[in-house]
Structure 1
């Protein structure tokens, strides 16, 4: 009887410890890596995508300034890069240098708020330009007096965020794209041996 209680206690402790342990992601298989890589091969490489988004960025700033000439744009933060999210984690698994990345373009800011009376006109103009670059209709995130924000997304999961409150801001984060080097190579990078 005492032995049964000890056995039950040991099993319970094992279950408790395993339930509280860290979440370990499943192993990445070669086929997952190849499948995700091949899917990203259908997209422009990161440099091509960034160049296109920079062009979009410039047109949006010019159009907003044409409607509200008092706004003067300046870069607020430099660009950033990061590994891709969950949809493409296998591509970079076990690599020393990422084959695929998401890039945050430099943020732009203009001091001051867009007048509420002009918000609809300005956001419509931004939406038309975004649509020319493959972005869908904007999703309203905030819509209150003197505080507006809308996000546009494209088929590659890039996000163009435009808003106004104390200041007017323009942000863009790309979706996941292969680096130019990886796209030129055309196949997943071999896992380094240590």
Structure 2
């Protein structure tokens, strides 16, 4: 098993992973808008830095990326297609199978995790949301 510093060195930098996840979210919003929308996405919360408890005492960072919200809900009949889009795109970025958190008429939510400890949440009720929190990563200046 790798020591924490070695494990962090093998991960992408926080800057690299944020760029990858931003690209993933861009693709998700675009496809969801085109295939199960229209969804007019807007930033609902800015990016914030959060504690990196998994690697306490290291210089690793974790972020809650910009959260996105569309005022329009996804119709129940379109939810399976929306989850299929999310499953397909997120898998390309290393995320596992979406886990159902809520699945009832007019209220749906799934989450997914990747091998670096990132987690996304995608859901719809009165509105549609997409959020993502990164796992722990070193800043590029601290990568060897």
Q: Same fold (TM over 0.5)?
A: yes
Which has the larger share of helix?
Answer: 1
Residue 113 of structure 1: how far off its partner (Å)? 1.2
Deviation >2 Å, runs of 4+: none
Aligned match of 2:35 in 64, 67, 72?
A: 67
Aligned match of 1:78 in 43, 46, 49?
A: 46
Match of 1:133 in 2: 93
Match of 2:56 in 1: 89
Unpaired runs of 5+ in structure 1?
1-33, 92-98, 187-194
**Relative contact order (C-alpha < 8 Å, sep 6+): which is higher?**
2
Instruction: Give the match's secondary structure for 1:129.
Output: helix
Residue 67 of structure 1: how far off its partner (Å)? 1.2
Deviations 1:19-69 (A, max 9, x none): xxxxxxxxxxxxxxx921111000000000000000000000001001123
Q: CA RMSD in A?
A: 1.2
Match of 2:125 in 1: 165
Distance in 2 between the 1:37 and 1:72 partners?
Answer: 41
Instruction: Give the match's secondary structure for 2:31.
Output: helix
Instruction: Give the match's secondary structure for 1:177.
Output: coil
Question: Which is greater in Rg?
Answer: 1
Aligned length: 143
Residue 179 of structure 1: how far off its partner (Å)? 1.1
Aligned pairs for 1:99-138 (under 5 A) are 99-138=59-98
Match of 2:23 in 1: 55
- Contact kept? 1:150, 1:162, Cα under 8 Å: yes
